[in-house]
A = this chain, B = another copy of it.
Amino acid sequence: MVSVSEARNLIMDNQISVKKVLLPLAEAHGYILADQVLAAFDTPPFDQSAMDGYAFSYDNWDGKTELIVIGEIQAGMQSSNILKPMQAVRIFTGAPLPTGADTVVIKENVSVTGNFISIDNRQITKGSNVRSRGSQTQTGEIVMEEGQLLTAPAISFFAGIGIDKLLVYAKPLISIVITGNELSKPGGILSQGKVFESNSFGITAALMQLNISPVSIDFVEDKEEELLGVIRNRLGVDLLILTGGISVGDYDFTAEVLNKCSVERIFHKVKQKPGKPLYFGRYNQTVVFALPGNPAAALICFYEYIVPVVAYHTKKDYLKKIKMPLNDEYKKIGGLTHFLKGKTNLETVSILSGQESYLMNSFSIADCIIQLDEEKEWYNKGDLVDVLMII
């Protein structure tokens, strides 16, 4: 039996390969960039008008004479005009400046007489209202470093500089295996002795919170050969999560079957409540968690131990860990770390009622898990505790 901190260390010491994947830009939101990105083009790709107005050559203008308007350039058009001194073109936001022009005067600062414009020279300097070629990015320049979160503005930025694929840290492939003879699908009527199966729902939802869909969910009766076949079949994923059959009862043979599948046991049993039977093992590039069948214990183990493994793969921070003053007194027996369902307000955290591990009522409205340390037996109101936010 290991302590909670030993369990955390053993889990992180046994993580192996992180994978990178090249994703289409439209799918890359929310991932972490796995390599630096270089600009493939100058952007803007040409000197571009920032406003609706008239383009002309500033240096070839005497600051007062009217200019003759020789054409018009809309956004998306090619500019075939070559401006001579004292000429101008009507131009629109986003349109390329014609050769010979370097400045745009906005239409509000111009008086038009037939084909001639007179410019109010007070508001204008050379280069006004022009986004010059390469002023956003220059070809070959590093435009983003590895490790950056791909937000919506980042995705928009990459689209705008013509990048349509990004190398990112991949989500781990995850399979779920639910064991238990007593389990019945929610929605129907229970036959005698059965209870509703909830761990597949709870764990899948917790993965949804991390934007991950499991690659498979198997439901297995407590039959050794059946479980053996399913586990062998799933040992290619990055992360295999089993629930149930991991205590030491006569019908709890998950650990034994994992052993038969050559999964190396790293630890089995943690000095914690709930979730004492937690098992962690490894098989080649697959890490295996066998969680207690108890739904509250299963989810607490998921948040405390599995989320960090997913974070190791994706390089993302998912759940906030904070310290907060406890709003209650609490007495516990030394020797086990307690994980309690909690609810925070701005200043303190309260222990919810109904902490027995089969009671999900309080967990269903909790926003955090409170960790009470192994050796400490008495908590006073106001004591600082470790809080793992789960929303």
Interface residues of A (CB under 8 A from B): 25-26, 29-30, 41, 43-46, 48, 50, 52, 73-79, 92-96, 131, 135-137, 143-144, 148-165, 180-183, 185-188, 190-206, 208-209, 222, 247-251, 293, 295-296, 298-299, 302, 341, 356, 358-361, 363-367, 390-391
Contacts and interface: CB of A to CB of B under 8 A. Distances in A.
In the complex, the count of this chain's copies comes to: 2
Given A75-B193, A151-B391, 18 more contacts: A29-B204, A30-B209, A52-B249, A74-B181, A74-B222, A75-B180, A76-B194, A92-B251, A135-B359, A144-B364, A151-B367, A152-B209, A153-B202, A153-B296, A157-B361, A159-B186, A159-B202, A162-B196
Nearest to A194: B76
Given A201-B159, A363-B157, A366-B153, A76 B182 contact: yes
A232 B360 CA distance: 49
B93 A249 contact: yes
Contact of A295 (B149, B160, B367): B160
A250 B78 CA distance: 18
A219 to B, nearest CB: 13
A131 B296 CA distance: 15
Contact of A136 (B180, B248, B359): B359
B154 A195 contact: no
B152 A95 contact: no
A105 B331 CA distance: 24
Contacts of A201: 25-26, 155-156, 158-159
Contact of A358 (B131, B195, B248, B367): B131
Contacts of A92: 249-251
A152 B186 contact: no
Contact of A29 (B131, B191, B209): B209
Given A50-B358, A359-B136, A299 B364 contact: no
A180 B76 CA distance: 8
A75 B182 contact: yes
Given A190-B162, A205-B156, A365 B182 contact: no
Main secondary structure of the interface of A (DSSP, over half): loop
Contacts of A152: 202-203, 205-206, 208-209, 299, 302, 390
A206 B26 CA distance: 11
A107 to B, nearest CB: 8
A239 to B, nearest CB: 16
A275 to B, nearest CB: 14
A36 to B, nearest CB: 13
A299 B202 contact: no
Given A250-B92, A251-B75, A299 B182 contact: no
A361 B136 contact: yes
A309 to B, nearest CB: 16
B360 A95 contact: no
The 4 closest A-B CB pairs, nearest first, are A156-B202, A76-B182, A164-B187, A76-B181
A205 B295 contact: no
B358 A157 contact: no
A248 to B, nearest CB: 8
A391 to B, nearest CB: 6
A90 to B, nearest CB: 8
Given A155-B202, A366-B153, A195 B45 contact: yes
Given A164-B187, A391-B149, A196 B76 contact: no
Given A92-B251, A205-B151, A76 B183 contact: yes
